[in-house]
Structures are given as structure tokens and as C-alpha cells.
Amino acid sequence: MVYITRRETFAAAHRLFIPELSDEENLKIFGKCSHPNWHGHNYTLEVVIAGEINPETGFVLDIKKLKEIIHKFVIDKVDHKNLNLDTDFMKGLIPTSENICIAIWNQLKDKIPSGKLYSVKLYETENNYFEYRGE
């Protein structure tokens, strides 16, 4: 088994809040991430594909093809967007990094033409990252 990773970056705004709660209650739960005027991150996304090497091409998956897939189904939908308002696959979700990871996984899981999606890792800051493996 060989694992290939494509790294991408995007900038996005979001607000962590539960609409049914007051601003004060949301502040207690989510801290400054619940600021009513949003806040943002410069995210780093790593998508890992696992698979056997195709003996004809020497690839698990052409990394250029993986880049195209990630851009079409994720980056083009999130970069310089508001995750609460602008991103279709985040509708109805609190845009925590955990939920973003799972949502990105769901965007990509059926789009990989060879190998299989192994993990989605999302860096919110240089110190905080989140990983989902479809479990």
C-alpha cells in the first residue's frame, strides 16, 4: 500500500454558534469563535489517498488529477468564503474544524478514481489540526 498526499490552502470565515441560543450563551460555549461578525482562518488541507501502484503508469493516482478533484469539490467552494453562508456542503452544520473535516471527506469520498480516500487532515492553526478517516 502506498499513501499519497496533496496539500492545499484556503482562507475562510465562519462563526461557531447555535442559533437558538443568545450571544452570551454562545460565548460561553464557543468563546471568541462565536463573535457575531465572524472570524477567519488560513487553513491547510491535506488529502491522503491509499492504494496500489498501477504498473502501467507507476501512479496510485495522478497527483494532478487529485489536485483537480480537490479544487472542484472543495477549494473552489470554500476559499475566501463564509462557511456558514456560502458553502453548500456546510449548510446546517456548526462549522467546527471537526465538522469541516467530515464534510470535506463526504465531498471527496466518491470522487477518487483510483486508490481510496484514506484521510482528510485540516490545520486550523499551526498548533491545531483535525483528522478524519471515515470512521
Catalytic status, residue 33: yes
Is 80 marked active-site? Answer: yes
Report pLDDT for 131.
98
- Which residue in the list 71, 80, 101, 135 is annotated as catalytic? 80
Q: pLDDT value at position 132?
A: 98
Instruction: List domains and CATH numbers for the chain.
Output: 2-132 (3.30.479.10)
> What Å distances lie between residue 54 and 13, 61, 70, 109, 116, CA to CA?
40, 8, 21, 20, 13
Residue 57 carries which DSSP code?
A: T
The mean of the pLDDT values for the chain is 97
pLDDT of 120 over the 90 cut: yes
Active-site position among 124, 126, 131, 135: 124
For the entire predicted model, the pTM comes to: 0.95
- Provide the grid cell at 8: 492545499
Per the annotation, the verdict on 126 as an active-site residue is no
Q: Which listed residue (24, 33, 56, 68) is catalytic?
A: 33
Residue 44 has pLDDT above 90, yes or no: yes
**135 pLDDT above the threshold of 90:** no
Q: What value does the mean pLDDT take over residues 18-38?
A: 95
Percent of the chain with pLDDT over 70: 100
